Amino acid sequence: MKTAELEKYKHKLMGLIPPERIVKVEFTRPSREIIEAFMELDGLTPTVSDVLDSMGIKGAISASRLSPIITGKKIVGPAVTIRYIPESNTPDHGYYNMERAKLADRDVYAVADKGDVAVFDAAALGDVSVMGGLSTLVAKQWGMAGNIVDGGVRDVDTVRKLDYPVWSTGQTPITGKYRVEAMEINGPISIAGVRVNPGDLIIADDSGVVVVPGTKAEEVLEKTIAATKREDEVVRLFESGASIEEITSILPPSKW
C-alpha cells in the first residue's frame, strides 16, 4: 500500500492501524445502477442464494449464523474488509500499562466510500466485541450502508437507537479493547466460511447474508431479476385460479 494513496483519506484516518496493514483503498466496485436494481427487488437473499447455487458459487450465510440486530432492514453495497486476531497480552496488562487499543473499525470506515458495507472477520475472538456504540455513530455519520460482523457487537441499544443496519454472530458486553488486534484492512477475509474480497457485493436482509463476487454482480442481477419475474408470474397465476398446466409451464414444481 503506497502512502500517497492514503493522502485523500488523511483527514478521516485516526491512525488505529499501521498504514502498511491497509492493503488497498482503490478497487473496482459494482455500479450504483446495479446496486439500486438489487435494492428494488423483494425476497432478495433467498433468490440470490438460488442464483449463486445455479452458478456454482458459495456465497450464502443464514440468519441463524449472521443475525440482524434490527429486523426489517435490507442493504446492498460493496464490501470493505477488516480482519482481527486475538491480542497476545491479557486485558489487565493493557489497562495497567495504559497501552493503545488495537481496534481499527473507524479506519475501515475512513477509507470506505459512501454506501459501502464494512465486513468484519472476527470469528476467532468468541464473545469479544469488535464494534459498539461509537463505532456505529461514526459508520452512520460517514455514510456506510451497514456492517456484517462475524464476531461480537456491543451497545446493541445504541445500534437500534441509531437505526443502523448490523448483522452479527453475537451480542456481548465484553470490550475488544486490549483483547483484539486489527491485522489488515481491505485484504481477502472469510466470514462463516465464505470468502469476501473488497468490492464484492454484500446483500443482507432478514433471511441472512449473501456475498456476490464483484465480477459477477451484473450477471447475478440479470438472473435474479429473471427468477423474480418467474416467481411473481407463478403467484399471479395461482391467485387467478389458473390450471396446474399453465403454472408449471412457467416454473416446474421441481424448481419451486
For 188-215, the pLDDT digits (tens) are 999 999 999 999 999 999 999 999 999 9
- Does the annotation place 154 within a ligand binding site? yes
Mean pLDDT in residue range 172-190: 96
Highest-pLDDT range among 92-106, 148-162, 222-236:
148-162
d(CA 107, CA 110): 5
- Residue in the block written with cell 491480542: 87
Q: Which residue has the higher pLDDT, 244 or 212?
A: 212
pLDDT of residue 178: 86
pLDDT tens digits, 52-106: 999 999 999 999 999 999 999 999 999 999 999 998 776 766 665 666 778 999 9
pLDDT interval class at 123 (50, 70, 90): very high
Domain boundaries, the chain: 17-213
Looking at the predicted structure, is the pLDDT value of residue 131 above 90? yes
pLDDT interval class at 247 (50, 70, 90): low
| Domain boundaries 17-213, corresponding CATH code | 3.50.30.40
- Does the annotation place 157 within a ligand binding site? no
Query: According to the 3-state scheme, what is the secondary structure of the chain?
Result: CCHHHHHHHCCCCCCCCCHHHECCCCCCCCCHHHHHHHHCCCCHHHHHHHHHHHCCCCCEEECCCCEECCCCCCEEEEEEEEEEEECCCCHHHHHHCCCCCECCHHHHHHCCCCCCEEEEECHHHCCCEEECHHHHHHHHHCCCCEEEEEEEECCHHHHHHCCCCEEEEEECCCCCCCCEEEEEECCCEEECCEEECCCCEEEEECCEEEEECHHHHHHHHHHHHHHHHHHHHHHHHHHCCCCHHHHHHHCCHHHC
